[in-house]
Structure 1
Amino acid sequence: MPIRTNRGRAAVYRRLWGWPLRSPRHLIGTLVFLAILLTTLGVALPKLVGKPAATAAPGPGGTSASARPGPGIAVTPTGTATLPTRLTGPQGTPSTAPPSPEAIKVAKDWAAAWVNHPNGITNAQWLEGLRPYTTEEYLPVMSTVDPANIPAAKVTGEPTVTTSHPSSLKLVVPTDGPKLSITVRNTPTGWRVSDYDQAS
């Protein structure tokens, strides 16, 4: 039955507006509903309306400012601009170089200091023998080595270069224990050993 009086309409409106305030549950439900409604409108309206394309006033010569290509942008005969292609090729391998005699000598001297560990030598004394030939960054690693556990007492041959680059060199030094694979790098203070391991 339709509401025909103003008093009846006012009562209906009072009930609608007053419903959220009847209890905390009604209020929370109303707030959740409004949040969902606003989120849905915020997502749906831009898609329905669509954004108008930005146009710029024509500049001198009859071309718009937005149509003028910037540096490094090619314009095709149809008037559309294309961005330059960015080439990302694989990283090249480091260039090889003849082995440095100074680097070979440093590796040989380092190996001689490495096998020099008479009975009773402390780690600090052993490190002092390695210090002139070792990078500052690698000395803390060497400080964890116990000289008594080194299974070699002398170098038994000449170093053999395995890889050689302008700023680094890798070589194998034979000992009476395991062969040493030593990496030597060119630092501001000269060639220094930056790593070693047992060669296979």
Structure 2
Amino acid sequence: MPLIQQKKIVKTSSLYLLLTAIIFLLMIRQKSAYACTCVGKDRQTTENELGIADMVVVGKIIGVANYADTTAAFKRPGSDQLSYTIWPYKIYKLAVEKKYKSPIDMPDTISIISGTDSGSCGYVFEIGKEYIVYGNSWKQKSIIVRQGKGKVKKTITETGSNNTFYTDICQLTQEANRKELSKLKSLTE
């Protein structure tokens, strides 16, 4: 084998070895990934979920948009410093057709917030489909900054509304079906 061809093989082998080492190092340095785990989902009952949820309705999804939220506002341990993390969500518009459990003044069109996919526990709705939605009141967290007498004071506030709710794949939210609707009817009428 000619010398030039041998050098080319050695160079290619060295490059392959270097790339393999780099990929290996990147893999071992990678931080942990988080995925959704629903503990006790297999033991859920309609009766239990009806008792836990703030709202249970049947309705049709009429819109969807991306939504970035600072819900994860928090105070750093051992410090007065407040921080927040911006989390991506989807916000769905739901035209409510039947209310099984709801706040008294809940409108007929509500917002449902959920993660962007099942990896973030998000329930992915499809526009035009009818769903039974089990949800909890959404509490928007904000960091309020006040300045006075040479000091900056930061506080975390929570505000809720009667028309925005959160659901995920760990709740009994599902496409509308006779079996679940029958159970809800028997428990609420």
Per the normalisation by structure 1, the TM-score is 0.19
Q: Which has the higher strand share?
A: 2
Higher radius of gyration, 1 or 2: 1
Which of the pair is proportionally richer in helix? Answer: 1
Question: Quick one: higher RCO (CA 8 Å, sep 6+), 1 or 2?
Answer: 2
What TM-score does the superposition give when structure 2 sets the normalisation length?
0.20
